[in-house]
Amino acid sequence: MAVKKGFQIKKFKACKVGNIPEEKILEERELKKINDFKPLELLNEGKTKRLYQTPSHEGVILEFKDDLTAGNGAKHDTLAGKGEVNAKISAHLMRYLEAHGAKTHFLDFVAPRHNLVKKLKMIPLECVGRNLAYGSLLRRVPLFEEGEKLGPPVVEFFYKSDELGDPFLNLSHITSLGIVPLEDAEKLKELTEKVGKVLKNFFSERNLLLVDYKLEFGYDSEGTLRIGDEVNGDSMRIWDKRAWEEERKINMLDKQVYREGRSLEEVKNVYEELCNKICEE
């Protein structure tokens, strides 16, 4: 397992959109140091994140680790600073989505690598939106050409299970398995499409192309569906828009570079560039 150091990202600024207030850094208030919530109960630990209980019944702390994984954990490295980058990007995009009418679990950014989020009862589904044909879609549906524009965008569901290989599910599978009622399954599709439109415009303004994206949803204490988990370069494929549209050249700015075996130095540069493009005002 390799360890790579040396992120050079520009200072994270507040995402000033809509009526959302500027960033409130919790480390300057009740959470003055990251160590303040180290003793709190660890609720769950995954491949790239940890979830901690807080004194609040609603809020939990989502910690972004420096781990890089691919192939459901079969490939694993550590990239120092990667957690900070993903925490910042996710905070920025969650805040942006909230300002554009999409309900998320995001409450606040806690420097340097944590988000304060609402506690959700997560649905074991990965909701994938696709604007261009790429990745596993080409293997499963070889009728598409690589990079072909999908109109309308395709929405797919996968059962969240590393052991089972995240099997594909359609709406009938979801309701037959009792994962969620049909009404909520259709709502997940609708929300995935809505988020895709918002993010597509956001990235287009920055000369970036949203190829596809993965969302996870859960219910809050009032039964409202909200976007959970993360929204960053680990959960999306993002290309340089001009390079693709003018030269048909794929210039990746996401975790795909790691999946394809690029050096950790290249991976670091990609994460760094994406963070600066998204978070810089």
- Percent share of the chain, pLDDT over 90: 79
Q: Phi first, then psi: what are they for 15, rounded to 5°?
A: -90, 100
Helices (H), 63-204: 82-99, 136-140, 171-176, 182-204
Q: Using one digit for the tens of pLDDT, what is the confidence trace for 40-62?
A: 789 999 999 999 998 776 789 99
Measured in residues, the chain has a length of: 281
Task: Judge if 164 and 45 occupy the same domain.
Answer: no
pLDDT of residue 58: 74
CA distances from 142 to 85, 165, 239 (A): 35, 20, 22
- Say which range, 46-60, 201-215, 249-263, has the weakest mean pLDDT: 46-60
CA distances from 8 to 5, 72, 85, 270 (A): 10, 28, 10, 11
Task: Judge if 145 and 270 occupy the same domain.
Answer: yes
HSE toward the beta carbon, residue 49, CA cutoff 13 A: 22
Task: Judge if 151 and 227 occupy the same domain.
Answer: yes
Q: Using one digit for the tens of pLDDT, what is the confidence trace for 108-153?
A: 999 899 999 999 999 999 999 999 999 999 999 999 999 999 999 9
pLDDT of residue 2: 47
Average pLDDT, integer, range 57-78:
90
Q: Phi first, then psi: what are they for 10, rounded to 5°?
A: -70, 155
Task: Select the highest-mean-pLDDT range: 34-43, 71-80, 176-185.
Answer: 176-185
Task: Judge if 247 and 143 occupy the same domain.
Answer: yes
pLDDT of residue 7: 53
Task: Judge if 109 and 134 occupy the same domain.
Answer: no
Q: Phi first, then psi: what are they for 5, rounded to 5°?
A: -115, 165
Is 60 exceeded by the pLDDT of residue 173? yes
Look up the pTM and report it.
Answer: 0.88
Q: Phi first, then psi: what are they for 134, rounded to 5°?
A: -165, 165
The CATH number of residue 8's host domain is 3.30.200.20
Return the higher-pLDDT residue of 30 and 185.
185
Residues contacting 132, CB < 8 A, separation 6+:
147, 148, 149, 150, 209, 211, 212
Average pLDDT, integer, range 186-209:
98
- Distance, in Å, from the CA atom of 270 to the CA atom of 252, rounded to the nearest integer, reads 8
Task: Judge if 26 and 152 occupy the same domain.
Answer: no
Is 80 exceeded by the pLDDT of residue 9? no
Task: Judge if 240 and 167 occupy the same domain.
Answer: yes
Instruction: Please identify, among 90, 119, 148, the residue that sits at the C-terminal boundary of a domain.
Output: 119
* Alpha-carbon dihedral sign for residues 266, 269, 275, 277: negative
Task: Judge if 76 and 62 occupy the same domain.
Answer: yes
Return the higher-pLDDT residue of 41 and 83.
83
DSSP 8-state symbol, 98 = H
pLDDT of residue 30: 43
- Say which range, 1-10, 225-234, 260-269, 272-281, has the weakest mean pLDDT: 1-10
Residue 231 belongs to domain spanning: 122-279
Average pLDDT, integer, range 192-212:
98
Task: Judge if 184 and 53 occupy the same domain.
Answer: no
Is 70 exceeded by the pLDDT of residue 13? no
Task: Judge if 160 and 94 occupy the same domain.
Answer: no
The CATH number of residue 150's host domain is 3.30.470.20
Domain count, the chain: 2
**Sorting pLDDT into bands at 50, 70 and 90, what band is 33?**
very low
Assign residue 280 a region (left: φ > 0; alpha: ψ between -120 and 50; beta: otherwise).
beta
Instruction: Please identify, among 85, 119, 153, the residue that sits at the C-terminal boundary of a domain.
Output: 119
Q: Is the peptide bond before 152 cis (omega within 30 degrees of 0)?
A: yes
